[in-house]
Chains A and B, each alone.
Chain A
Amino acid sequence: MSNNKLFTTPIDANVPVVNELVFEQINSQITDQLNTGVLVLDADFNIVLWNRFLQVHTDKITDNIIGKSIFTAFPELPQRWLSRKLSSVLQLNTPSFCSWQQRHHLFELPHTRPITTDSEFMAQNCTFLPIESDTRDRHICILIEDVTDACHYQMQLQKTLAEIAQISRIDGLTQIYNRRHWQDSLEQEYAKARRHDKKLSLIMLDLDHFKLLNDNYGHQGGDMVLIEVSALISALLRVEDTFGRYGGEEFAIILPETDSAGAMELAHRICRVIATTPLTYNSQVINVTVSLGVAQLSCNESNYEELITQADSALYQAKSQGRNQVCSAPELVS
Chain B
Amino acid sequence: MNEFHLTEDQQDCLQELINIAMGQASDQLARYLDTFVYLKVPSIESVEASELMITLSQRKNTIAVVSQGFFGYEGIRGESLLIYQEEDSGRIADLLGYEPDELSQDEQLIDISSILTTTFLNVFAQQIDNQLSYNAPKLLPNVQEILSEHLQQMPFTWNLALKVNINYQVTDYSFNCNMIILIPETAITNIKYVLDRVLEEF
Q: Are B129 and A88 in contact (CB under 8 A)?
A: no
Of A43-51, A95-103, A222-230, the one touching chain B: A95-103
Residue of A nearest to B96 (CB): A84
Among A2, A3, A80: residue with most chain B CB under 10 A: A2
B-side interface residues toward A, CB under 8 Å?
28-29, 31-32, 73, 96-99, 102-104, 106-107, 110-111, 114-115, 118-119, 122, 125-126, 129-131, 133-134, 136-139
Does A136 interact with chain B (Cβ within 8 Å)?
A: no
**Is A1 engaged at the interface, CB distance under 8 Å to the other chain?**
yes
Q: When the two chains form their complex, are residues B31 and A102 in contact, meaning their CB atoms are under 8 A apart?
A: no
Chain B at the A interface: mostly helix, strand, loop or mixed? Answer: helix
Q: Decide if B119 touches A94 in the complex (CB within 8 Å).
A: yes
Residues of A within 8 A of B96 (CB): 84
In Å, the complex CA distance between A101 and B106 comes to 10
Give Cα A78 to B101, complex, Å. Answer: 12
Between A and B, 5 residue pairs with Cβ closer than 8 Å are A2-B125, A81-B102, A93-B122, A96-B118, A102-B106
Q: Is the CB of A80 within 8 A of B103?
A: no
Residues of chain B lying within 8 A (CB to CB) of residue A93: 122
List chain A residues, Cβ under 8 A from B31: 91
- Interface presence of A125 (CB below 8 A): yes
Task: Evaluate contact between B32 and A81: CB separation under 8 angstroms.
Answer: no
Does A127 belong to the interface (CB within 8 Å)?
yes
Asked if A80 contacts B32 (CB within 8 A), the reply is no
Q: Are A91 and B28 neighbours in the complex by a CB distance under 8 Å?
A: yes
Whether the Cβ atoms of B134 and A95 lie closer than 8 Å is yes
**Per-residue CB proximity of A82-120 to B under 8 Å, as 1/0?**
001101100111111101011100000000000000000
Pair B107/A5 contact, Cβ less than 8 Å = no
A8 (CB) vs chain B CBs: closest residue: B73
